[in-house]
């Protein structure tokens, strides 16, 4: 039998800590508005538990349903910061949007109320020192360097989604992870995020693809 560097009980306590963090993070996300599935949150949590990130950046936060689970891991790790970039503005949300139903939804929904709801929850969850919200478009947001995990889930138009990968992926650390949501977003005969996905495929190493309420993927920065 191989000598274990640590007693089994130590591994058990690490696993039970991870389980506890995950249960807490899922309980938090269930109180938030957004489109992140529990399966996706679970994978984001596992990734953050595994790589112990210092810097997480999310483009497109909405009610925090994908940002908060990752931030819960940072809090448990007692290190790292999760930046959430979102303009929370009807004008930005409908820019270049083609489909009338999408235009109508994003043109009317109360972005400010969703942002305020998230801010309250961040305090409720004790994440105020872990999450920094930046109310700005991806384009106008200040550069954030040495990103360990980048989650792109902002405006899904061809122009903006392509811009998002071009601006933010170069700021990810070598070996860092890029998560791109809605890889097959389809509006009036156009796969609007296809150009961004193609760029990711050409410039990063695709690691995984998932299908839940959307098709989304994970790439590694080369």
Find the shortest distance in angstroms from Cβ 133 to ligand SAM: 11
The one among 44, 55, 62, 127 contacting ligand SAM by CB under 6 A? 62
Q: Which helix (H) or strand (E) holds 150?
A: strand 147-152
Residue pair 219/168 in contact (Cβ under 8 Å)? The answer is: no
92 is a contact residue toward ligand SAM (CB under 6 A) = yes
Helix pair angle (38-51, 67-77), 10° resolution = 30
CB of 84 to ligand SAM, least distance (A): 9
* Cα(216)–Cα(80) distance, integer angstroms: 24
Backbone phi and psi for residue 8, each to the nearest 5 degrees, phi listed first: -55, -40
> C-beta of 149: minimal distance to ligand SAM in Å?
13
Q: Does 161 interact with ligand SAM (rule: CB under 6 A)? A: no
Give the interface segment with ligand SAM, choosing from 7-15, 34-42, 171-179, 184-192 (CB under 6 A). 34-42
Helix (H) or strand (E) holding 106: helix 100-108
Site for ligand SAM in 112-151 (CB under 6 A): 137-138
Question: From the list 22, 57, 133, 153, which residue makes contact with ligand SAM (rule: CB under 6 A)?
Answer: 153
What are the residues whose beta carbons fall under 8 Å from the beta carbon of 127, sequence distance 6 or more? 68, 71, 72, 75
Burial class of 18 by CB neighbour count within 10 A (0 to 12, 13 to 18, 19+):
middle
Instruction: Decide: is 84 part of the binding site for ligand SAM (CB under 6 A).
Output: no
With contacts defined by CB under 6 A, how many residues of the chain interact with ligand SAM?
Answer: 22
By CB under 6 A, tell whether 34 contacts ligand SAM. Answer: yes
Q: Is 97 an interacting residue with respect to ligand SAM (CB under 6 A)? A: no
Q: Pull the structure tokens for residue 16.
A: 């039970």
Position among 69, 80, 154, 217 found at the interface with ligand SAM (CB under 6 A)? 154
Stretch that binds ligand SAM, among 18-26, 33-41, 188-196, 197-205 (CB under 6 A): 33-41
Query: Candidates 46-54, 58-66, 127-135, 196-204 — which segment interacts with ligand SAM by CB under 6 A?
Result: 58-66
Q: Which stretches of the chain bind ligand SAM, using CB under 6 A?
A: 34-36, 59-62, 65-66, 85-88, 92-93, 111, 137-138, 153-155, 160
């Amino acid at each position: 039998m191989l000598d274990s560097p640590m007693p089994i009980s130590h591994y058990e306590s690490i696993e039970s800590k991870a389980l506890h963090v995950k249960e807490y993070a899922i309980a938090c996300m269930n109180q938030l508005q957004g489109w992140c599935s529990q399966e996706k949150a679970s994978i984001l949590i596992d990734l953050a538990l595994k790589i112990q990130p210092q810097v997480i950046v999310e483009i497109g936060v909405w009610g925090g349903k994908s940002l908060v689970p990752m931030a819960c891991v940072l809090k448990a790790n007692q290190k790292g910061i999760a930046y959430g970039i979102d303009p929370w503005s009807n004008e930005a949300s409908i820019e270049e949007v083609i489909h009338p139903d999408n235009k109508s939804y994003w043109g009317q929904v109360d972005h400010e109320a969703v942002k305020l709801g998230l801010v309250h929850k961040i305090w409720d969850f004790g994440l105020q020192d872990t999450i920094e919200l930046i109310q700005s478009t991806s384009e106008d947001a200040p550069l954030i360097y040495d990103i360990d995990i980048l989650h792109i889930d902002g405006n899904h138009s061809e122009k903006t989604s392509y811009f998002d990968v071009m601006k933010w992926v170069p700021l990810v650390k070598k070996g860092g992870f890029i998560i791109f949501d809605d890889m097959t977003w389809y509006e009036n005969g156009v796969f609007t995020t296809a150009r961004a996905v193609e760029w990711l495929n050409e410039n990063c190493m695709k690691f995984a693809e998932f299908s839940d309420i959307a098709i989304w993927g994970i790439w590694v920065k080369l």
